Amino acid sequence: MYKAFYGLKKSPFSISPDPDFLFLSEAHGEALAHLTYGLSQRKGFVVITGEVGTGKTTLIHALLRQLPQRVRLAFVSNPLLTRDEFLSFLANAFNIGEVANKTQFLVRFTAFLESAYKANENVVIIVDEAHCLTKELLEEIRLLSNLETPNHKLVNIILVGQPELGDMLANIELRALRQRITLRYDLRAMTREETQNYIESRLLKAGAKDLAIFSDQAMEMIFRLTRGIPRLINILADHALLTGYVKEMKKIDEDIVTECADEVFALENGQGLQDNKGPAPRTRWIGFLKKFFVGVLILTVLGLLLWQTTISWLGMDTGEGFSLRWPPELSVYLERLKDTVSGYF
């Protein structure tokens, strides 16, 4: 709806993993380099993890786009499979025919790998959403990696998933798999500068003549609310352009972003804008100082109470007229301290 209004030829903020709109932040560039190196050097197991929306699937599609023709690939996008379903999927992907059981699969798959190796073809299995794999299926995948020559792996396996994948691999039951991982990278979100470059890059690739459609304040607010996560940036920026079009505003400012944010993040996490804004730095410092002074007051009251108890005990038990009592003014001060501390609770 808003493309003509902003002079765009394409929708710049689609959440589909379109390699044409690939923007490589420092982290994305490093992750892609890990993947490319792992495949070219036949490193066996490579693991890429990252939070939801950080661009893992987009990265995989970018890798697939630049793979040389000598790669034989099986791309598993839905890992919620049984062992037999997984083996059947691989058999179909590599065109080795129908398999009736695991034994038949291993015989045919081994022959296929040896043939591919002699033809200098690189066999690759990529499992997206790998955090959804069962431990049993992960163990089956590990056993596939045992197929190797004395110098090279016959099959390269890339596991891509959310941070929970790392937790799974830390399980003692999967230590044999963990020891076979040769390359591992955790994909982090983008910085403030990268977020702005990301938005401007997508606008440029969508045909924009004016890359300043979003004001600097709007850029800052988008980064703050999305924490540099590409998928959230796309959703919020798309909403902002639609709202700007409805209001006939050529420039997206901070107010439009803020207006869109509550709806976007209410849909995202069911709780709204405040979840992603977080406390401002000044507010956090005020809260810290308040807690600090309350703690000092509590310690002071406890110290004075201990002192009063000690003095009272000495005054009652010496029996020689030695009596220590604090002055009435101090008692009044103590009561006021008690009231002050009580007021905070």
Read off the pLDDT of residues 304-316 as tens digits, 9 standing for 90 and up: 666 665 555 555 4
- Assign 3-state DSSP to the chain and report helix, strand, coil percentages, each to 5: 55, 10, 30
Mean pLDDT, residues 113-136 taken together: 92
Which pTM was predicted? 0.72
Q: Taking 60 as the threshold, does the pLDDT of residue 270 lie above it?
A: no
Q: Taking 90 as the threshold, does the pLDDT of residue 86 lie above it?
A: yes
Nearest Cα to Cα of residue 237 among 209, 278, 202: 202
pLDDT at 64: 83
- Contact indicator for 224, 26 with CB cutoff of 8 Å: no
Dihedral sign of CA atoms 29, 77, 231, 160 in order = negative
Dihedral of the CA atoms 224, 226, 230, 233 (nearest 10)?
-90
Q: Could you give the 3-state DSSP secondary structure of residue 326? A: coil
pLDDT at 109: 94
- Contact indicator for 108, 58 with CB cutoff of 8 Å: no
Lowest mean pLDDT among 71-75, 110-114, 176-180, 338-342: 338-342
Mean pLDDT, residues 116-141 taken together: 92
Average of per-residue pLDDT values in the chain: 82
How far apart CA 251 and CA 233 sit, in angstroms, is 17
Query: For the chain, what is the radius of gyration of the CA atoms?
Result: 31
Percentage of the chain beyond pLDDT 90 is: 47
How far apart CA 269 and CA 225 sit, in angstroms, is 13
Percentage of the chain beyond pLDDT 70 is: 77
Range list of H helices, 119-183: 135-144, 164-169, 175-178
Tell me the per-residue pLDDT of 14-51, one tens digit each, with 9 for 90 and over: 888 777 888 999 999 999 999 988 888 888 889 999 99
